[in-house]
């Protein structure tokens, strides 16, 4: 009979048994006081306590994925196989980086066979490390193929042979009688060239255009170029100085008696005189005079045509005459036609820059017609004293106008601009300093 049963039945126990119980339950009695419990079935109190909850019934799927009683020998065998496969990938990465993915596929197949016997998390962790190594090798293999590594994805001999065949037979041209083909290329493209009694194909043109690099570049390389065309106003820095190669010369020993006195360069007023091509006020004045002269000429010609038509002219005819002479309803010159230079996009931007200075200074007035199109008019501002300007102030409206090459071409096409209203300025190549520096 157990100790708990002896207490439940109320039968006296022997002193030895009582002493054993006291020693075994000493810690529990000192820590907490036991309470009697009565089970629901009416039995006596039970002093034994449950130390852990019973594990739930395992499902069928859990038995396949987790086995706590798996033998250590089997686990060691699985770990050794996984580590050997991973060490092979570390020692021979080149075999896994070839264009043929057979090595990687073999590793994945073997790993799938081994993972079927894995029942513990330790072996699953080792297998995960192997997948990381395989993924890294696969990424490096793809990068090598896409970057054009000839050792990994391109056969050099095959590439060269196809280039030679392309140049020999005039690839990229569908018509066998096209003018782009040479005489030897036309003969090679004939279907009966290899017939009996004919000319041997290997001997045709070997001394001529076998390596026709111009044909390869024109029909194979140029159509595949993806870089944008470089415009003429973005050809490099403003000034270039050709650097000559310095030849080292053996110099004589340094002596104080050989020193020569060098005086600083003296600059006169004529050396520092600004030229008209770089003087901003002078350029703005020329553009202002050109605007004033263009407005007067256009208005005079339009008035003469109005006089010829007489009073019976319609508003559409008046609008057509004014549009022909770049005039707006306000009497000013059309802004876009005035600043656009159809020969140079760079000078168009410069013209807009100069006109903006004239508007800011108050020499030119910007107006809009009923259609919202801008026009320019010369404006004579009234002279004011400094006190009046500071007292009343000047109200300014700031606007930003942007233009790119696409818009520039569309404006030229829409307004049919053939010649610029502002004369085209000669574009000179900027050179480096001369013999006397920048002030020649």
pLDDT in tens, the chain (440 residues): 444 444 444 444 444 444 444 444 444 444 444 444 444 444 445 555 555 555 555 444 444 556 777 888 888 999 999 999 988 888 888 778 776 678 888 888 999 998 888 888 888 899 999 899 989 888 888 877 776 554 545 667 778 888 888 888 888 888 888 888 888 888 888 776 544 444 444 444 444 456 788 888 888 887 777 776 666 665 555 556 667 777 777 777 777 777 777 878 777 766 665 555 567 888 899 999 999 999 999 989 888 888 888 887 888 888 888 888 888 888 889 999 999 999 999 999 999 999 999 988 888 988 888 888 889 998 877 666 555 555 555 567 777 888 899 999 999 999 899 999 999 988 766 554 554 554 44
- 400: exposed, middle or buried (C-beta count within 10 Å: 0-12, 13-18, 19+)? exposed
Q: How far apart are CA 336 and CA 349, in angstroms?
A: 11
**Contact yes or no for 321/388 (Cβ under 8 A):** no
Alpha helices for 310-404 (secondary structure H): 315-324, 335-339, 345-361, 386-392
Global model pTM greater than 0.85: no
For the chain, the first-to-last Cα distance in angstroms comes to 125
Q: How far apart are CA 127 and CA 120, in angstroms?
A: 11
| Nearest residue to 131 (alpha-carbon basis) of 89, 99, 70 | 89
| Nearest residue to 83 (alpha-carbon basis) of 150, 128, 30, 20 | 128
Distance from CA of residue 10 to its chain's centroid? Answer: 91
Q: How far apart are CA 410 and CA 336, in angstroms?
A: 11
Length of the chain: 440
């Amino acid at each position: 009979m157990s100790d708990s049963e002896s207490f439940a039945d109320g039968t006296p126990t022997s002193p030895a048994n009582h002493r054993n119980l006291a020693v075994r339950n000493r810690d529990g009695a000192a820590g907490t006081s036991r309470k009697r419990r009565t089970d629901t079935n009416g039995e006596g109190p039970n002093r034994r306590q449950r130390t852990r909850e019973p594990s739930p019934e395992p499902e069928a799927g859990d038995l396949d994925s987790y086995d706590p009683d798996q033998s250590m020998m089997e686990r060691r065998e699985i770990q050794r196989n996984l580590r050997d496969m991973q060490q092979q990938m570390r020692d021979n990465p080149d075999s896994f980086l070839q264009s043929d993915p057979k090595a990687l596929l073999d590793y994945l197949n073997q790993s799938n066979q081994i993972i079927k016997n894995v029942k513990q998390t330790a072996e699953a962790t080792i297998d995960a490390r192997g997948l990381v190594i395989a993924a890294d090798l696969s990424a490096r293999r793809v990068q090598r193929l896409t970057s054009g590594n000839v050792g990994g994805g391109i056969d050099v001999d095959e590439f060269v042979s196809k280039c030679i065949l392309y140049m020999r037979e005039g690839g990229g041209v569908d018509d066998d009688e096209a003018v782009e083909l040479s005489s030897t290329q036309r003969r090679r493209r004939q279907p009966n060239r290899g017939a009996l009694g004919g000319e041997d194909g290997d001997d045709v043109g070997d001394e001529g255009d076998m390596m026709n690099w111009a044909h390869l570049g024109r029909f194979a390389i140029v159509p595949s170029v993806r870089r944008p065309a470089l415009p003429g106003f973005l050809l490099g820095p403003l000034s270039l100085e050709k650097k000559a190669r310095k030849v080292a010369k053996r110099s004589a020993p340094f002596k104080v008696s050989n020193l020569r006195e060098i005086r600083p360069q003296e600059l006169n007023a004529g050396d520092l005189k600004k030229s008209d091509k770089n003087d901003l006020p002078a350029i703005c004045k020329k553009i202002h005079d050109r605007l004033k002269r263009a407005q007067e000429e256009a208005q005079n010609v339009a008035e003469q045509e109005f006089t010829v038509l007489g009073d019976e002219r319609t508003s559409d005819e008046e609008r057509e005459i004014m549009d022909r002479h770049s005039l707006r309803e306000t009497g000013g010159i059309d802004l876009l036609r005035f600043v656009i230079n159809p020969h140079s996009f760079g000078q168009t931007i410069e013209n807009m820059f100069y006109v903006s200075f004239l508007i800011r200074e108050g020499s030119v007035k910007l107006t809009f017609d009923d259609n919202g199109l801008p026009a320019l008019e010369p404006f004579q501002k009234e002279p004011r004293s400094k006190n009046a300007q500071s007292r009343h102030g000047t109200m300014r409206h700031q606007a930003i106008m942007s233009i790119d090459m696409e818009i520039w071409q569309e404006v030229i096409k829409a307004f049919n601009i053939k010649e610029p209203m502002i004369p085209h300025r000669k574009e000179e190549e900027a050179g480096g300093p001369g013999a006397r520096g920048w002030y020649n």
